[in-house]
Structure 1
Amino acid sequence: MPRLTRLTPDTAVGASRDLLAELASRHHGRLGDMVSTMAHSPAVLGGYLQLSRAMGRAKLDRRTSERISIAIQAHQGCGLCLEAHVSAARALGVDEDEIERARQGTSADPATAAIVALALQVHREPTSITDEQVGALREYGFSDRAIADVVGVVALNVLTGAFNLLAGLTPGSDGSDAGA
């Protein structure tokens, strides 16, 4: 059961009202549980929206990004986010074996396994990242920009997962999706 109430453009105030109204207009009046609940804090909602938009311009391939998201959410424990990222990975053509590997924090592809492992280290223990690891990622063909983007993907997943867990949002909690 949700711990925080959902807001609408009619029940939100100030900046949150404006943000929700803009989202509702872009999404045919439909607002997901997470953004509706995030509206209690215009700082959190605005930060989420800005980071989400920025990560849409990331250099990482979307299939790789979704596998990173699955690994982070499997570790973090947000069922709502995990469900959303598994669905997105399937829509992008990631097969079930790779989705399961992503849940375990790896991949059959060595390059993808290496970047997913880096993401989990960024999440769990960033001080353990080595020069050799970053060099190996470059040898697999990842640019410095793509490697840096891993931090953004992890940060976005920590934000959304932690928020959903705090707010008590779970899959099917009221029939809406997680995002906007």
Structure 2
Amino acid sequence: MPRFDRLTPETAVGASRELLGELVERHGTVGDMVSTMAHSPAVLGGYLQLSRAMRRAKIDRRTSELISIAVQAQQGCGMCLASHVEAARSLDVPEEKIRLAHDGTSSDAALAAIIRLGLQVYREPASITDDQVDELRAFGYSDRAIADVVGVVSLNVITGAFNLVAGLTPG
């Protein structure tokens, strides 16, 4: 059960009112997470900025969704996990790849390595080694794509943690 009320451009105040108003004007509606994030203009603004910035990531969308599935399976946000599974399916990612990502791996060595990096960034970034980064480069990942994994994980942390604190669930 949600712990916070959803806000609208009419019920939000200050910067949140402006942010929600712009979003509703552009998209017609906003989801539960965004309308609830509006309780904190700092959190909502930060989420929106990071989300926009990650659209310029060099890591491809299918890989990003698989990393997100792996991270959300660990973090425990059912709402985010369902959203990323749905997004992966919309990109025609095979069910087996989705299942393996949920388990933190892949049958493709390069994809398994980048998913493993995402999970390490989430759990224990200090454990990442030079050899691991060299392996990712050998698989063809650029330094920018490797760095983008940090952004993908960060976006998942903010959305998943917020949804869990706010009591938002799939529905």
Instruction: Work out which structure has the larger RCO, using CA pairs closer than 8 Å and 6 or more positions apart in sequence.
Output: 1
After TM superposition, list the pairs within 5 Å mapping 1:1-180 onto structure 2.
Answer: 1-28=1-28, 30-172=29-171
Question: How many angstroms does 1:31 deviate by?
Answer: 1.2
For residue 166 of structure 2, what is the amino acid of its counterpart? A
C-alpha separation between the residues in 2 aligned to 1:143 and 1:17? 40
Question: How many angstroms does 1:70 deviate by?
Answer: 0.2
For residue 62 of structure 2, what is the amino acid of its counterpart? R
1:45-90 CA deviation, whole Å, 9 max, x = no partner? Answer: 0000000000011000100000000000000000000000000000
C-alpha separation between the residues in 1 aligned to 2:30 and 2:95? 29
TM-score by length of 2: 0.99
**Moved beyond 3 Å, runs of 4+:** none
Question: How many angstroms does 1:27 deviate by?
Answer: 1.0
Tell me, what secondary structure is at the counterpart of 2:4?
coil
For residue 109 of structure 1, what is the amino acid of its counterpart? D
Tell me, what secondary structure is at the counterpart of 2:19?
helix
Tell me, what secondary structure is at the counterpart of 1:24?
helix
C-alpha separation between the residues in 2 aligned to 1:14 and 1:128? 42
The root-mean-square deviation of aligned C-alpha atoms, in Å, is 0.4
Structure with the larger helix share? 2
C-alpha separation between the residues in 2 aligned to 1:31 and 1:137? 37
C-alpha separation between the residues in 1 aligned to 2:22 and 2:85? 27
When the two structures are aligned, how many residues end up with a matched partner?
Answer: 171
For residue 95 of structure 2, what is the amino acid of its counterpart? E
C-alpha separation between the residues in 1 aligned to 2:127 and 2:30? 39
For residue 125 of structure 1, what is the amino acid of its counterpart? E
Structure 2, unaligned runs of 5 or more: none
For residue 22 of structure 2, what is the amino acid of its counterpart? E
Q: Percent of counterpart pairs with the same letter? A: 74
For residue 142 of structure 1, what is the amino acid of its counterpart? Y
Question: How many angstroms does 1:108 deviate by?
Answer: 1.0
